[in-house]
């Protein structure tokens, strides 16, 4: 096990994985509280905040919470925007890959 930690980049990989998990948990909890507040007619978390957390890496937590809590499953355009996030990620990654391969 100690050999694993001595490899270059291991700390970065585990750090990014931990950050990914944390962002997804935060996003799922935000969906939970928004659903809870919706049923209580209380102040809500703005959709833009939910989408931002989803975009910065919490999409998996958002989709899990959306299905688990039956929250914002039919609300448009929120549903479409949430489902478009992986495509935005793919387009961004493709653009970065393309631009990285070009010489200045």
pLDDT in tens, 20-37: 999 999 999 999 999 999
Name the average pLDDT for the chain. Answer: 91
Rounded mean pLDDT, 46-73: 95
Show me where the domains of the chain are located.
2-101
Tokens 């448009």 found at: 76
Single out the residue of 92, 82, 17 nearest to residue 52, CA to CA. 82
For residue 103 the two structure tokens come to: 């010489």
Instruction: Give the number of other CB atoms < 10 A from CB of residue 12.
Output: 9
Residues 6+ apart with CB under 8 A from 81: 51
- Please give the Cα distance from 63 to 79 (Å, whole number): 10
CB distance 54 to 26 below 8 Å: no
Whether residue 89 is predicted with pLDDT greater than 80 in this model: the reply is: yes
Whether residue 65 is predicted with pLDDT greater than 60 in this model: the reply is: yes
What's the pLDDT tens digit per position in 8-18?
778 888 889 99
């Amino acid at each position: 096990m100690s050999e694993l930690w001595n490899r270059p980049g291991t700390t970065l990989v585990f750090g990014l994985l931990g950050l990914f998990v944390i962002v997804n948990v935060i996003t799922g909890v935000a969906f939970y509280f928004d659903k809870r507040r919706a049923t209580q007619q209380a102040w809500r978390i703005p959709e833009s905040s939910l989408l931002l957390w989803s975009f910065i890496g919490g999409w998996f937590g958002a989709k899990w919470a959306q299905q688990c809590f039956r929250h914002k499953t039919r609300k448009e355009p929120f549903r479409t925007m949430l489902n478009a996030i992986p495509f935005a990620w793919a387009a961004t990654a493709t653009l970065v890959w393309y631009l990285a391969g070009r010489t200045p």
